[in-house]
Amino acid sequence: MTAREAIFGAIGAAGERAVADEAAIAAAAAGLLARCAPTRPAQGAGTAREIFLRRLRSPALGASVAAVGRAAEVPDAVRRHLAAAGLAPVVALQPHPALRALDWSGFDVRPAIAIDETAAVGWAHGGIAETGSLVFRSGPDSPTLFAFLPLHHIVVVPARRIRPWLEDYATLEAGEAWPRNLTLVTGPSGTTDIEGRLVRGAHGPAHLHVLVLDEGG
Amino acid sequence: MSAMAEPASFRARVAAAVADPRLAEAIARTTGTARRKRAAAVASWADFASARALGRDIKDHVIAHLGHYLALFERNARASGAEVHWARTAQEACDITVRICRAAGARRVTRAKSMLGEEIGLPHALREAGIERIETDLAEHIIQLAGERPSHIVWPALHKTREQVAELFRARHHDAARGADVAALVASARRELRAGFFAAEVGISGANFLIADSGAVCTVTNEGNAELTTTPPRVHIVTAGIEKLVPSTAHAMTLLRLLVRSATGAEVTQYTTFHCGPKRAGDPDGPEAFHIVLVDNGRTRMLAEGLREMLRCLRCGACLNHCVVFRTIGGHAYGGTYPGPMGAVLTPALDGLAANRDLPQACTLNGQCQEVCPVAIPLPKLLRGWRDRSWREGLEPATLRRSLALWRFCVLRPRLYRLAAGGAVRLVRMFARNGWIRRMPFAGGWTRDRDFPAPPARTFLEQYHRSSSARGERR
Amino acid sequence: MPASPGGSRVGLFVTCLVDAMRPQIGFAAVALLEAAGFRVEVPRRQTCCGQPARNSGDREGARAVARRTIAAFEACDHVVVPSGSCAATLRIQYPELLADDPAWRERAEALAARTRELLSFLVDIAGYMPAGVQLAASATYHDSCSGLRELGIHAQPRKLLAAVAGLTMRPLEGADTCCGFGGTFCVKYSAISNAIVAEKARCVVASGADLLLGGDLGCLLNMAGKLHREGAPVRVLHAAEILAGMGARPAIGEEG
């Protein structure tokens, strides 16, 4: 008997029917999900964009945020943010077409991201108002490591892609498949492993700056 | 390789723990913060009670249809390009993991904290196989340097004060921080571990959720070490208990809200990643191979033996943080992988009751663990279940059995009981001075640390029925 | 909804600890129940609720004791217990212990339904509030775990104590944290129990109250014993003693 057979056998012996009524199980699972919405924590008043901004500004999250009207203004917003942090305009750029299309003159754009990169500019797939999270779907234009290697991570998120709840990026949109990594980033990296005290910048970024891009609705 | 040999008996470990004021201080610092933050998070969630009931029902639904969901998960994980392995026991799980490492030519692995990995003894198995292991979670890194075992399921290094961590880093880090400032210690670990992420052939993680309808594996961390552990190496291995299943990503989100608030008081972890298969065509990073080792190790036995509710556990650690016993003795005293109330239920199931009979007994049944559990596991009931079994199997000491037999003989005979109670109070009263007893034969368990008030000359029943018969009443 | 007490018979389950260690709590309970208009009976066949057996895993022993208690109190309209943990044993453990005993299951459930802890009975069932009770003192209250978590007793003792003229209530840090008693736990694992009750004693002293009150004698003996060993001059009493106007009489360990 293989380990697999033994495990399924033991589950059967504990009372589960060998042939599952798949439709009934799916209906029960859907019924559970339907109970979720009324139990979710209150978000307070405002649009998803407003709530998202409020969450990102809350001290517990430890991020900073600014609104940008047009994509063309992103490089200037990045430059201002770096200057305010006392950093030179040197960035690694996520290979996202929307970022690459912008005018980065005046920047030293690194050819690839280094393991101790100081600053990187990213483009998020979406945002979640409930938690102030950024959503990344790994792929050719979104390497997983971009969100983890830099000390300063500056991320553009289109306002129209900000959704209210965690569940809103938990299902596939038309034509989508699951990426290798679907990652929710909520604030900069942190740890409470020593005496329960929160310290930023454990392994991932110590600083997260979010640019909410309003262009395109 | 253990830096300190741990005493063999529970009582000896307890004695060592309560005699260590630094341990008490360390536990109080972290669990105190955790309790305050959890309380605030729960207080600000208006319908926490309904969410908790839903979380419980989701887990119960999956456990009731575990075979169905395991098969579904396996099918979808394979479709995503993952290889799925099955392990009945800890040994099988370690063997599979080591075999994959060897096939990948791995000399070095990185590991993101996983309690299942601790449960199956993976650190030991890798050492035996001659494979270097780099623990990437800060607390696990501290534990690894110290050559110790985790003492908490969320904060494995909870038993260490910052001063002790500073001392350890000074001795072992290449570019150690001076002083015991927590931020400087974290920075020191960041420098020390950075290169290691890219020097491993295999990255090993656990799973917080297994998503049946996509075949994905969810990890949650605050440090970002899970993704740094699982993305650069050529191979990613997940070791996960079969109870980690949820029907879909959306169900996972519902449980995630409960898990994180209960663990740290935050709304969500900083990094929540759903890992689905190996690197895709065109992906700039990610492993070429993705292995998932599904581990039973006693879980199906728990299903059959009345511990089904324990399989709900999300490993949030809230029951540890709120347990007066855990807060007094710390995690190491429990002797198993899992400490605190959940550990007192799990360890006898994993490692046998006979060797762990103290764990379900060393509990006041105060119920705070169940009250704070985000999936409402009836921990006191399960602990009572172990006590019943321990009694049935004759594991309780003969002295206890004899005294309970005597007690039972008396309480089942009301006249004898009243006589015995009256005699006992007058006997015990003879040891009192000024209203208190400081010591008395056979009462050291109480009088070593506490005084005992003098009992009255007559019991209530003696006094009451004397006065009521004087009033002419009789029943 | 207050019960109409006229003619309603309350059986007092004294508990073995109150019987042997502090009869005054039993007399306070009788006085309060009579003041609330009930006829109080104290069945002679009562002994212990069976917790020592139940909590040690001796189900058979606990079942035997449960049957005794059920039979002893079957004629009473209400069963009132001046202890949260003993009341919880009758209300929750008895039906569980006898669930598979066809001859006793319904009797256990019927007893459970009629059983209440004293302070919650006075508020929730009797609608009673003490009148004319005075005690010039400050007090703090420890919520014993069984009463708090298994029976939901929290507001009732505070509501009753608020009616005592001159009594000021002070908050107790960790009022809902276990005191480390746990029945036989406190002697089986005395090193752990001692550390827990030492912390509790620190919090009690820090409250600055003259009195420590509670609703479970086991916990009160544990805390009083620790406070006395450490020389803390806090007087410890059951809340029922205060409510029955016995607060000026000797507290636990004080000589009359």
Domain membership of residue B26 (yes or no) is: no
CB of B12 less than 8 A from some CB of C: no
pLDDT of residue B471: 65
Q: Using alpha carbons, select from C109, C170, C178, C111 the residue that is nearest to residue C148.
A: C178
A14 with A54, same domain: the answer is no
pLDDT of residue C85: 97
The residue from B300, B335, B365 where one domain ends is B300
A35 with A127, same domain: the answer is no
pLDDT digits (tens, 9 = 90+) for B55-98: 999 999 999 999 999 999 999 999 999 999 999 999 999 999 99
A56 with A136, same domain: the answer is yes
CA pair distance C133, C35, nearest whole angstrom: 12
In degrees, rounded to 5, the angle at the alpha carbon of residue A110 between the alpha carbons of residues A106 and A112 is: 160
Q: Which residues of C59-91 are buried (b: 16+ CB within 10 A; e: fewer)?
A: bebbbbbbbbbbebbeebebbbbbbbbbbbbbb
Q: Nearest by CB to C177, from B324, B404, B456: name it.
A: B324
pLDDT of residue B475: 46
Interface of B with C in 383-412 (CB under 8 A): 384, 386-392, 396, 400, 404, 407-408, 410-412
A97 with A27, same domain: the answer is no
CA pair distance B339, B331, nearest whole angstrom: 5
**CATH at residue A55:** 3.40.50.10420
Residue B442 has pLDDT above 80, yes or no: yes
pLDDT digits (tens, 9 = 90+) for B205-225: 999 999 999 999 999 999 999
What are the extents of the domains in chain C?
Answer: 9-125, 134-243
Q: Read off the pLDDT of each residue in A35-63 and give the average, rounded to a whole number.
A: 95
- Which chain B residues have a beta carbon less than 8 Å from that of C41? 475
Backbone angles phi, psi at C128, to 5 degrees: -90, 140
Rg value, chain C, Cα: 18
Backbone angles phi, psi at C199, to 5 degrees: -65, -40
3-state secondary structure of C60: helix
Q: Nearest by CB to C64, from B384, B408, B418: name it.
A: B408
pLDDT of residue B2: 41
A81 with A126, same domain: the answer is yes
To the nearest 10 degrees (0 to 180), the angle between helices B66-79 and A3-13 is 150
B154 with B268, same domain: the answer is yes
**Tokens describing residue B382:** 């399960």
Residue B1 has pLDDT above 50, yes or no: no
Number of domains in chain A: 2
Please tell me the class of the C134-243 domain.
alpha beta
Confidence of residue C255 (pLDDT cuts 50, 70, 90): confident
pTM value is 0.96
A123 with A152, same domain: the answer is yes
**CATH at residue B99:** 3.40.50.10420
pLDDT digits (tens, 9 = 90+) for B257-278: 999 999 999 999 999 999 999 9
- Contact, A188 vs A204, CB < 8 A? yes
CA pair distance B415, B427, nearest whole angstrom: 18
The residue from B300, B325, B349 where one domain ends is B300
Query: What average pLDDT is seen over chain A?
Result: 96
Number of domains in chain B: 2
Q: Using alpha carbons, select from B453, A30, B150, B261 the residue that is nearest to residue C255.
A: B453
CB of B28 less than 8 A from some CB of A: no
pLDDT digits (tens, 9 = 90+) for B321-358: 999 999 999 999 999 999 999 999 999 999 999 999 99
CA pair distance B4, B20, nearest whole angstrom: 14
A104 with A31, same domain: the answer is no
pLDDT of residue C6: 62
CA pair distance B325, B29, nearest whole angstrom: 16
B232 with B98, same domain: the answer is yes
- Distance between B64 CA and the closest CA of chain A, angstroms: 7
Neighbours of chain A (3+ CB pairs under 8 A): B
CB of A101 less than 8 A from some CB of B: no
* Structural domain boundaries enclosing A174: 46-213
Q: Read off the pLDDT of each residue in B294-309 and give the average, rounded to a whole number.
A: 97
Distances (CA, A) of A55 to A201, B37, C204: 19, 17, 40
- Which chain A residues have a beta carbon less than 8 Å from that of B241? none
- Contact, A201 vs A146, CB < 8 A? no
Residue B3 has pLDDT above 60, yes or no: no
B80 with B212, same domain: the answer is yes
CA pair distance C122, C145, nearest whole angstrom: 19
Q: How many CB atoms are closer than 10 A to CB B81?
A: 16
Domain membership of residue B4 (yes or no) is: no
Asked if the Cβ–Cβ distance from C19 to B370 is below 8 Å, we say no
**In sequence order, which residues have a C-beta less than 8 Å from that of residue B391 and are 6 or more positions away?**
C56, C57, C58, C59
* Structural domain boundaries enclosing B455: 403-470
- Contact, A40 vs A165, CB < 8 A? yes
Between chain B and chain C, the number of residue pairs with CB atoms below 8 A apart is 200
Q: How many CB atoms are closer than 10 A to CB C22?
A: 25
Residue A18 has pLDDT above 90, yes or no: no
